[in-house]
Amino acid sequence: MSDFDPIEEVIEALQAGQMIVLVDERALDVDGSELVGEGELMMIAELADSNSVHFLARHAGGPVYVAAETNHLEKLGLDAASAGATGPRGASYMVPVNARDVEGTGVSAHERALTIRRLADPESTPRDFVQPGHVTPIAAQSGGILRRAGHTEGSVDLARLATFSPPVAVLASILDDDGEVASTPYLLNFATRHGLKIATLRDLIAYRSRSEKLVNLEARARMPTRHGEFTTYAYRSLVDGSPYIALVMGVVDVGEPTLVRMHSCCVTGDALGSNLCDCGEQLQAAMAMIAAEGRGVIVYIQSHEGRGIGVLHKLKAYELQQEQGLDTIEANHALGLPADSRDYGIGAQVLQDLGLRELRLLTNNPRKRVGLDGYGLRVVEQVTIAADPNPHNIRYLRTKRDRMGHSTLLEEGDRSDAQSA
């Protein structure tokens, strides 16, 4: 029996004005290492009062935020905290606000509750707020938790499933008794101690995946390649319209674990033959491995170019690496961008639409495994892809191994420093 409550019961609790605990069992730190858990105390913003805001601040311990869909926050005329203001996992923060009719400083529980309710009021306008203030709004990505598996999106999804419109939630990170991010056992005990329902992002993802579809099959055609004939399935995301191309060989909807590669688009490596990365080699190796097995799937994700930052920013990052000696993570950060902003929710729906359930995932990146787990899919094996280093990408591969946890096959003096780079 699960330690967590069914999503249906969590929705009922939120509708009754109760708080719940929302847990990410597989949260990743910015360097790709896995945390033991991360939890948020949340409730429906429309129902917030001084008692609930005081409880959030006192018992959760972390900052209190208001999560809402981007279009709702834009309607209220709220400004981003700064250009490209995102947290380490892609969360988008706004400048803190007060409700204009707050009579004091806006910091008391009563005054913050008033601001929170104003943020959730469908009749509110930009004139109802002043900036800066003491309540920080945070924008959820369109598509919700199926697009980005984060607490922000999860809390807004739960508000929507609880039939509140606009769906706006208030949440705060739960810290343990030492002031550190609370572990899953601590969160379970916290929920029991306070009589709260507790659910996981994984279960919320599965709940939505069972009832919603966010991709549409647009075309299908045969594609002969040097590795044999694949069938291409062209999908369009119903969230943002971006294309997802699935290369399929053999019969894959047979209920058996299937070789799968989630390949991030890399124009420089895949199409131009760049030696600055190993992307092109990994793509060709994955196609060859699938051809040798006679069945498998490659999902080619155009929006993942440059680990999600786009080709122009990627080339700017290359410039910083070459002129200032930064590594790939440092260069992204110098540009004000996250080290990795990719999500796999829409790609997971492509796999589901093709009939896959159990995957043998072709990747050196443990984050991809975590990103797919919970979307109604189960990764039964991570299969490493070998790509020989060269003098131009040896530092890049070392950075992925040492700072991002990739299981690259760099050994034997890193292949004699990529043949004496």
| Helix ranges, 219-327 (H) | 279-293, 311-324
For residue 41, give the nearest of 195, 203, 207 by alpha carbon: 195
For residue 298, give the nearest of 364, 242, 231 by alpha carbon: 231
Cα separation of 250 and 194, whole Å?
52
Q: Are strands 215-225 and 97-99 parallel, antiparallel or unpaired?
A: unpaired
Active-site residue 340, yes or no? yes
Q: Of 270, 340, 343, 373, which is the active-site residue?
A: 340
Active-site residue 89, yes or no? no
Q: Of 148, 160, 342, 367, which is the active-site residue?
A: 342
- Please, which residues have CB within 8 angstroms of residue 270's CB and are 6 or more apart in sequence? 279, 280, 283
For residue 244, give the nearest of 205, 277, 267, 218 by alpha carbon: 218
Degrees, nearest 5: CA angle 141-403-360 = 70
Cα separation of 187 and 178, whole Å?
14
For residue 335, give the nearest of 321, 349, 345 by alpha carbon: 321
Exposure of 414 by Cβ count < 10 A (0-12 exposed, 13-18 middle, 19+ buried)? middle
**Residues designated catalytic:** 340, 342
